[in-house]
Amino acid sequence: MKIRLLIVDDEPLARERARRLLDRAQDIDIVGECANGTEAFAAIEKLQPDVVLLDINMPGLDGLRLVEALDDPPAIIFATAHDHHAVQAFELEAADYLLKPFSAERLKRALDRVRQQFALA
């Protein structure tokens, strides 16, 4: 089973780096990229990804508010440079919380956690 993943980050270089790291995973299909929460909201509704790699601090609708606004959010892996949002992220049932810059190994562990959640569902 291919995991459909959406990348959401307001920094183009962060999206590019995530894409490069995700290219190594054979079971990941990157279905899109968004530069802000408003774009991501529409893309999640349209593309129905299984998981979103989501930055928190973005202009306008930030990552936390985005997840709160979704009726039935996909699995969320937050990826941010700030550790002070971790508690709130896990209260929103995040699958994982990555601190930038994260390693390929750390991203792999986050994806493994998502894979395990899907296997249990």
**Helix residue spans in 10-103 (DSSP H):** 12-22, 37-47, 63-69, 86-91
The residue whose two tokens read 């590019």 is: 16
The per-residue b/e assignment along 41-74, b for 16 or more CB within 10 angstroms, e otherwise, is bebbeebebbbbbbbbebeebbbbebbeeeeebb
At residue 101, the pLDDT reads 94
Structural domains in the chain?
A: 3-120 (3.40.50.2300)
DSSP 121: -
At residue 49, the pLDDT reads 98
pLDDT digits (tens), the chain, 121 positions: 799 999 999 999 999 999 999 998 999 999 999 999 999 999 999 999 999 999 999 999 999 999 999 999 999 999 999 888 999 999 999 999 999 999 999 999 999 999 998 887 6
Summary count for the chain: helices (H), strands (E)? 5, 5
The residue whose two tokens read 């493994």 is: 112
Q: Pairing between strand 28-34 and 75-80?
A: unpaired
At residue 121, the pLDDT reads 65
